[in-house]
Chains A and B, each alone.
Chain A
Amino acid sequence: MEKVLTRNISPGKAPTDIAAYEANGGYSALRKAMTVMSPDDCRQVISDSNLRGRGGAGFPTGMKWSFVPMGDKCSPGHKYLVCNADEMEPGTFKDRLLMEFDPHQLIEGMILSAYCIGADISYIFIRGEYVVAIERLRAALADCYARGYLGENILGSGYKLEMHVHPSAGRYICGEETALINALEGKRANPRAKPPFPQVSGLWGRPTIVNNVETLCNIPHIIDRGADWFKGLGVGEDAGTKLFGVSGRVKNPGCWELPMGTSVREILEDHAGGMQDGLQLKGFLPGGGSTDFLTRDHLDLAMDYNVIGKAGSRMGTGTMIILDDKTCPVGMVLNLIRFFAHESCGFCTPCRDGLPWSRQVLEDIENGRGKKEDLDTLEYQIKYIGAIGNTHCALAPGAMEPLQSALKYFREDFEHHISGRACPYRSVGGS
């Protein structure tokens, strides 16, 4: 398969600097856009490509951009492009790779995306723990200013753009785009009510687009090689390639660029090497901690947004977390709910008070203090906390996804904990 997003990235290879990036065709898409393409032309190509957001929601990128007021329809003032590099979804480790080993690909994608929406200021909102990526991005930005890829009059086109790296002070909720905008404004990162949507009124009340790292990394290649080429890369319904990852107790955990629509089985068996010796696959979260469990019955599904959606889960970030048969599903869900309860911003009651309640019930079950009625309590919580619209944002409904599917597929495990008054996995060498 042709490598696109990782064409400059190989295990053991040094990070790509500006010379190596340019030598491999880097910034040619930018030259093309600045010389022969208008922002409208560029936006059209992205719309035609069917690129969907790689941060987890899978929203069509071209459509997201289309809500930004352009030309006379936009009141005078700044417009912003923000890169969401706040990779904190449990089990997700793809954007780190892209930023540490090919920072210029992201920057070129950002310049082009900013050009598409007429933004003049852009930010890379990156989690503070990504120290290496922050350093390399800052160095890469300096190179770009020196070569005229950023700043006033980019490549003589008259277009100007400034770009800043903004390390976050940490909180999972900053990955929610309106919470991220509040964090950029120096506030607590509580999500905002929508509408207005950020495309119309975002950072400092101005039109703002927030896109994920991997989404933006696709842009130069689509501008360079066109929408049809991009659509042809996928082997299923969706266009392009995707960074898929596998973590958990498999032989070869890692992250690989594969065609969109690659089967779960191929990712798990061919790339991750299958389960470690002595372990069986019990279930998996297809795309991070806030996606529903799927099981062995779903191994032949294509990793496409709609296919995984129809199976009752979400493709999310495309980085799978594997549950083996010697790891306790109740313990795993407890770990996830504990995370989401801790990371709730505290703004709305169902999330702030509901998630700690779920955590408490799960702690009781896991530690042998569970009662039969606890399963009804969990179902009740799933019904009320999990419904979109009952909470201010998607954090708590996302938290309910692994819980509800664990109850569906691994209900016996919950029941054994309760009837046996202990975690049955602790006696067989599991966690």
Chain B
Amino acid sequence: MSNSQMIQTDLNSVLTLEELAEIDHELEHIPYKSGASIDALKIVQSSRGWVSDECLQAIAKHLEMSSEELEGVATFYNLIYRRPVGDNVVLFCDSVSCWINGCDDIKEMISQKLGVDYGETTSDNAYTLLPVPCLGACDRAPVMMVGDDLVTHLDRETIDTIFANKESGSET
């Protein structure tokens, strides 16, 4: 976290009124403010794609908890992003049933097609590739999620169709 940035930013103006209203709505059924920490992180992430240092500090202030404590929460969970992600996050299942059905090869195909490895974002910012624990669709393995959509029975054809506008990692 950059200290200079922390000092210069007025934390009261970081979150939008809509975000604050949504967070306060969650607080209605939670007896302690810090109890809404994960909800608040998700609310901010849903409008901005990820949670920046500034946002994290602003949420912590709003929920009357230390930013260190909130950072501990934010970095614990798989689906809270503390770095910018692309327009679509690709959650690639690499758990056991998908592995038996050849997901390692599929992952290589995706990496080649998009030109990214796990944790990386394509140069046009369209996709971020992340591994995810078992997606609970093992009868349709291998599977992944692209944004909110579950994509099943992955093979070269489905990968080519989904990432049709992508050619071996080059920008389109």
Contacts and interface: CB of A to CB of B under 8 A. Distances in A.
Given A164-B29, A204-B31, A431-B102, A129 B135 contact: yes
B73 A187 contact: yes
Interface stretch (B11-19, B76-84, B109-117, B161-169): B76-84
Interface string B126-156: 0000001111111111000100101000000
Interface in A237-295: 245-249, 253-255, 285, 289
A327 interface: yes
A216 B118 CA distance: 37
Interface residues of B, number: 42
A255 B141 CA distance: 13
A336 B96 contact: yes
Given A186-B35, A186-B39, A91 B97 contact: yes
Contacts of A254: 139
28 contacts: A90-B95, A90-B97, A91-B138, A93-B139, A96-B137, A129-B136, A130-B136, A131-B150, A169-B80, A170-B133, A184-B35, A185-B35, A186-B36, A186-B38, A187-B34, A189-B77, A204-B31, A245-B139, A247-B139, A247-B141, A249-B101, A254-B139, A321-B138, A323-B100, A331-B99, A335-B95, A342-B133, A345-B76
Contacts of A336: 96
B32 to A, nearest CB: 8
A138 B140 CA distance: 26
Contacts, number: 137
Given A92-B138, A188-B72, A245-B138, A321 B31 contact: no
A248 B139 CA distance: 8
Nearest to B104: A431
B38 to A, nearest CB: 5
B107 interface: no
A141 to B, nearest CB: 13
A289 B139 contact: no
Interface in B61-111: 72-73, 76-80, 91, 94-97, 99-102, 104
A253 B101 CA distance: 12
Q: Which of A130, A169, A183, A186 has the most CB of B within 10 A?
A: A186
Interface of A: 87-93, 95-96, 121, 127-132, 162, 164, 167-172, 183-189, 204, 245-249, 253-255, 285, 289, 319, 321-324, 327, 331-332, 335-336, 339, 342-343, 345, 431
Nearest to A335: B99
6 closest Cβ pairs, A-B complex: A169-B77, A170-B78, A247-B138, A186-B37, A247-B97, A253-B139
Contact of B134 (A92, A162, A183): A92
A9 to B, nearest CB: 14
A289 B95 contact: yes
Interface string B45-73: 00000000000000000000000000011
A251 B30 CA distance: 48
A335 B96 contact: yes
A171 B35 contact: no
